[in-house]
Structure 1
Amino acid sequence: MTNEKDVKPLVVRIILIVGGILGAHRLYLKQVPEAFVFFSTFGVFLIGWLYDSFMFKYEVEAYNQLINLNKENKDKEKWKNGRLQTAQSKFVEFSLTRFLYSVLYGLYIGIGTWLACTLTFGWTDINSIPFVSVVALGITAGVYIIGHCGGQSRELSFIWISSFSSMFLMVRVFQSAVFRSIFIASIVSTLVGNRTAKNKRSRHTWRHFLFWSSLFMMLVCVILLGCSRKIGEKQITATRPGSFRETTSVGSLMRDRIFDSKKVYSFFEGNPIIEYSISDSSQTERSTASKKSNSFWQHVWSGELFDELTGAAHLTKIDWVELTMTFIVDVLRAEARVINKSSTVEPFKWALWRNYLIHRFSLDPLVSDDHIRSECKKWQQEQNQKRESSEKDFSMIAAKRGCATFQS
């Protein structure tokens, strides 16, 4: 067995700069669960990477103190009732911060698993046992990994049973939405997992990190594959003056943009009217989503109040596939308009402002340009009537800038 040596802060600093976003510095300090959390969240969305940039020296000091403590206690192990005292682990107290981290990370991995099931494999029946099992497995993985951070441990079997049972009850019995079910399952599995929390040094190695990272990259690839398939299959029609119509798929436009951009620019030549094909299933989903409960208690029991408080109502109303598709098409349209200017910033700028106006005015992602212009005119008329009011906010300034950019 090799003796562990103290690590130098300079080495950790270099690793933090080079691969800290992917958790390389945590892996160097043998904090395998923390390293995977950094890897799967891109440095906890860069905030954790910035935090470690200032606080990494304390992590190095704690790691060196732990090594020295293990060296001192190596020859002081005593037996009690047939067990080593150093092998006994103690239960830990409740921590609200760790509880929130566990719930959010379980929700993060659970939503990723749900997206992989629906986008790529087409599992639309959320009441099926395989769907509940796979999503519960993703929640279990997130709660389990956070539970092993900071020198603690959790029982995997308890987390899995609680996440599966809570998902099953929320989906099959209470008929809740997927987002709400995953959120409740993350809370329940975290609470049950905390009942088995112990202070125990993690025995995970770089092999565990490699295995977890491979599974996560497979999950990301499956989601991207499903999104690209959903977006590429969408049909788009360009209508020019004289009733000349031309229909193609978004996937064909993206392929032609890479290999033969002239075909894409000729498709959008003359600023045609763009129309998207909408399936019958999406129309029925929108009609059912627009229905709301009448009474307050029905509003609570159906979960609509919970969705509004947590922001899930806004997430469920947005079709992210259609929003991404329209953004790609808008960028291609804007490139065709500024092809002579050879500008790479203006197309993205115009597409971003158009998507912002869709969000600002609560419009459908497949809305036409004329409808957006009418909404801008209506909004400008309302603002002109309120001209005597000197109050201004960022949303009003952004809407004014977006309308000006879109109508230019």
Structure 2
Amino acid sequence: MSETIVFDVQVVRQDFPILNREVNGKPLVYLDNAATSQTPKQVIDCIVEYYSNYNANIHRGVHALSQEATDKYEQARQKIQKHFNADKPHEIIFTSGTTHGINLVANGFSSILKKGDEILVSAMEHHSNIVPWQMLCERTGAVLKVIPMNEEGELLMDAYGELLSKNTKLVFCNHVSNALGTINPIEQIIDMAHQVDATVLIDGAQAAPHIKADVQKLNVDFYVVSAHKMCGPTGVGMLYGKEEWLNKLPPYQGGGEMIAEVTFEKTTYADLPHKFEAGTPNICGGIAFGAALDYMNAIGFDAISAYEHELLNYATKKLLAIDGLKIYGTSQNKTSVISFNIEGLHPYDIGSILDKLGIAVRTGHHCAQPIMDFYKIPGTVRASFSFYNTKEEVDILTEGVRRAKNMLA
């Protein structure tokens, strides 16, 4: 597919084998894309090809399989560099996912922060962008402060400005909220942080499937994503870091691959990116990550975004027609995520009935418990849409929610 081809969801759906299966005797309606997207056959074929034809360790072997695997792996790094517009390939560090990338950075700052330094996080963070910083504060004596949000699920930027000071050393924020779908104004967040010489990490896990981030244009210090959110395999992701920062931070783990020379007296570390890539990596995962980016870029992120926005508007209108249904996260600037509850009903009960109808949604606090505490609710039902979902599936969801409401009332 190319950018010039008109987007056809029925053609796209043919690339995803899992969409042909049934669950509980019903056609699968998969609406849990914010947790994990499905995998197209082009990426599945890439994985099969690796294990069938050139499965070998990388960077260390002189034999043909090792060299071929190494070439494919480093080509994938270059694909990721190009996609996110990093300045240099070695600014892309392969990780096991977003959580790994965040913890890598947090560990590095353990030797930089001191007592009284301040860290800012937003009120709508995933637990993986809260807990590592709490642990960092416990180790260093730094203070964690929270950028508040409003009822619409938007950050209060005036309050953010008031929190920033000469003591602010780090600012962490998600590009898109996994629980609400809100697209945060990260350009402004980054610029304001840099005005007080603070370093910024953006959690791009939820943005990457919908938005093509340009890390140089954003001028962000660190940006992290997971491949499994964007048609790739689980267990692999990337950390982008500015070269100057990656050189400052100490290695996160010790072992093979990340060393230059080892003696019992002293070890010297390898240059970037290998300094942060100890041990045998997820070679197949990295290569398949590159294949997933190829696939999504062939469709085109403009086409993906436009179609998903159309789905979001359609689903929002359909669901709001159900009496007693409330949507959480009503920002005008959001991705295709709808978190909702029905008055008097527990989200888990609704989700369980939907599952019996073959509809996969997520229920609970979505690893964003502070958001649920803000709204004083136990959790929500979250329907998250991807470019391979259809309006017909939205209709099935809506009818399923109505049925669940009638059964539980």
The normalised TM-score by structure 1 is 0.26
Bigger proportion of residues as strand = 2
The normalised TM-score by structure 2 is 0.26
Bigger proportion of residues as helix = 1
Larger Rg: 1
